[in-house]
Amino acid sequence: MTTGLWKRSAWELAGMVARGECSALEVVDDHLHRISEVNPSVNAVTNVLADSAREAARAVDRRRASGEALGPLAGVPFTTKENLDVAGSATTHGVPALRHAVAPLDAPVVQRLREAGAIPLARTNLPDLSLRMHTRSQLHGDTVNPWDPSLSPGGSSGGEGVALATGMSPLGLGNDAGGSVRLPALLGGVAALKPSYGRFPGDRSIGPRDLTLSSQLIPVDGPLARTVADLRVACHVLAGPDPRDPRVVPAPLEGPPLARPLRVAVTADPGGLGVHPDVRAAVELAAAALRDAGYVVEEVDVPRLAETVDTYGHMIMTEFSLSWPMLERLLAPDGRRYIELAMALRGPVDLAEYVRLTSVRQGLQRDWAQFLAHHPLVLGPVFTEPAVPVGYDTRGPEEHARCANALRLCTATSFIGVPAVAVPTHLAGGLPQGVQVIASFYREDLCLDAAAAIEARLGTFAPVDPRS
């Protein structure tokens, strides 16, 4: 049996399986062994799908042996956050009330990966209902940051970030409504793609009821990986219309050519609200990498940031307030505390103000689109603070506000609906640092190109062994 396959990227594994250098079953078994070794230390994986994964791997190996064409990710195992449906597995959202909510069908993004030959390997942890910055669920407890157990691994796709960072999976699926794939990627030292609104099909409903407006407009499903090349492959597989999601736009994966060299707006301290020196250093390293790759790098801030963040908060909290009696029953005390602090920071508004804010959103999107027409890329931080201690986000109003403020560029880009790629840059004090690259609507290709240039210059930093 080939060993050390868990260290390989998804694209490397797909090539090895296609060329017969290893079997899909060997790939799956090596990752299952890695999970058994590492997961007790980090608690990222919640449900291992060993039997079905091995069965799927054997099917890939039979197709290859018979000379059938294989998909681009044939034999590659992937993990899935426990709020995305995997047929035959419970989509628990981390709460006891949904412990037995076994999905009859795959979510669209899971189905797309399966159709490309990838193999569902395991489910991963998340905060209750994905409503917190730290990954702690009632069903599964805390996920541990593999770089420093005293620090949060981030959320809400924290289980995915840690699974990728520790080699338990080469490819993961999470979702992002304000940094929920980008923050765990940053804190784990891996990469993540938050796609444009309408780029990937999603199924965001819980039960028979569809979600309200903000939850239709803001959250998106997205991949995590250890290399930008893997994100690009996943993007190509996941994109495109699906009858289950009428929001999907059939935009081309490669947009029209733009005048070169591309201009990059660099904002190390978005809105001028403060940034930690280690975070600023990450942005400066990435800016230098892009400059050396031929980009024109200019220090320019993004438009109307404070208004964008405020509008996001008021719209979301207004909708949360309407469902609060239900949410309050489902959430644990720390989850309730997180939402209560968020409502105190940017509270619900009345109907007239909510309707006005929907108009404000369109104006914000227009101003961002015009800004990105002049600067096709924005380079900035994922989180303007260093990694925070476990529990910091619910310690009190000041600590919560500090976390929300640190995520301001993630919040704004989720609300506007533009794509972003989080990519690591270096280690500082033994902890991974990184940045995000943002582009205009449906220009994931530009984000991925720039992130690849940063990665080529600065390298990759995972997988890491949390036991060492």
Over its length of 468 residues, how does the chain's per-residue pLDDT go in tens digits? 677 999 999 999 999 999 999 999 999 999 999 999 999 999 999 999 999 999 999 999 999 999 999 999 999 999 999 999 999 999 999 999 999 999 999 999 999 999 999 999 999 999 999 999 999 999 999 999 999 999 999 999 999 999 999 999 999 999 999 999 999 999 999 999 999 999 999 976 666 678 899 999 999 999 999 999 999 999 999 999 999 999 999 999 999 999 999 999 999 999 999 999 999 999 999 999 999 999 999 999 999 999 999 999 999 999 999 999 999 999 999 999 999 999 999 999 999 999 999 999 999 999 999 999 999 999 999 999 999 999 999 999 999 999 999 999 999 999 999 999 999 999 999 999 999 999 999 999 999 999 999 999 999 999 999 977
The single residue of 9, 23, 81, 440 carrying the catalytic annotation is: 81
Pseudo-torsion of CA 211, 217, 221, 225, nearest 10°? -150
Is residue 180 annotated as a catalytic residue, yes or no?
yes
176: left (phi over 0), alpha (psi -120 to 50) or beta: beta
196 is catalytic: no
Predicted pLDDT at 3:
79
Is 43 within 8 Å of 142 (Cβ atoms)?
A: yes
Alpha helices in 50-204 (DSSP H): 50-65, 108-115, 158-165, 182-188
- The three-class DSSP label of residue 76 is coil
Q: Which of 180, 196, 414, 440 is catalytic?
A: 180
- pLDDT at position 207 is 65
Of 156, 157, 169, 214, the catalytic one is 156
Helices 10-19 and 24-42, axial angle in degrees (round to 10) = 150
The reported pLDDT for the residue numbered 203 is: 79
CA distance 25 to 57: 5
211 alpha-carbon distance from chain centroid: 20
359 is catalytic: no
Write down the residue that tokens 């942005």 correspond to.
283
Quote the pLDDT of residue 205.
66
Q: Are 65 and 41 in contact (CB under 8 A)?
A: no
Specify the pLDDT at position 204.
Answer: 66
- Strands in 220-225's sheet, in edge-to-edge order, are 45-48, 119-124, 77-81, 171-176, 220-225, 191-194, 420-428, 431-439, 377-380, 263-266, 296-299
pTM (2 decimals)? Answer: 0.98
In SS3 terms, 315-381 reads as HHHHHHHHCHHHHHHHCCHHHHHHHHHHHHHCCCCCHHHHHHHHHHHHHHHHHHHHHHHHCCEEEEC
Q: What is the pLDDT of residue 295?
A: 98
Is the Cα dihedral 89, 174, 6, 139 positive or negative?
A: negative
Beta strand 119-124 with 45-48 is antiparallel
